[in-house]
Structure formats: C-alpha cells, structure tokens
C-alpha cells in the first residue's frame, strides 16, 4: 500500500488506477489497459504497458 501511495503522489493517479499501477510495478509485469490516461501515467512512471485497443487492432 505504501508503494501505491508513493506512486500516487509521484504521478497524480488515484483510486484503483494507482493500485493497478503499483501492482504491475511491484510484480515487474506488463499492464494491459484500455484507459488512455492510465496508459500515459504508466509510461511516465516507467511501467511496461500496452493499450488494449492497439493490441486488438494490430494484425
């Protein structure tokens, strides 16, 4: 939870977004989301992330 709070202060993310971001960062896992704002926040935080709509539309 402390990691999530630090990440929230650093990125401005809140609520479930910051928890998902913190879990992905802690697990060193790729985050897959269709939320453009969460995607951009993850990129800024250095978290590996994929935007779902791009995965679906790519051949």
Give the DSSP per-residue string, 12-45. Answer: ---HHHHHHHHHHHHHT--EEES-HHHHHHHHHH
**pLDDT digits 0-9 by tens, 10-58:** 888 888 999 999 999 999 999 999 999 999 999 999 999 999 988 887 6
Q: Is residue 59 part of a domain?
A: no
Q: Taking the complete model, does pTM exceed 0.95, yes or no?
A: no
User: Domain range holding 49?
Assistant: 1-54
Q: Is residue 22 part of a domain?
A: yes
Q: Is residue 38 part of a domain?
A: yes
Q: How many domains does the chain have?
A: 1
Q: Is residue 49 part of a domain?
A: yes
**Considering only CA atoms, which of 34, 40, 5 is closest in space to residue 19?**
5
Q: Is residue 19 part of a domain?
A: yes
Whether the Cβ atoms of residue 45 and residue 20 lie closer than 8 Å to each other:
no
Residue owning tokens 């402390």: 2
- Strand stretches in 1-59, DSSP E: 31-33, 49-51
């Amino acid at each position: 939870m402390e990691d999530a709070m630090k990440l929230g202060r650093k990125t401005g993310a809140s609520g479930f977004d910051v928890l998902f971001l913190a879990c992905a960062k802690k697990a060193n896992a790729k985050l897959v989301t269709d939320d453009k704002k969460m995607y951009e926040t993850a990129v800024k935080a250095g978290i590996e992330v994929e935007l779902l709509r791009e995965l679906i539309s790519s051949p």
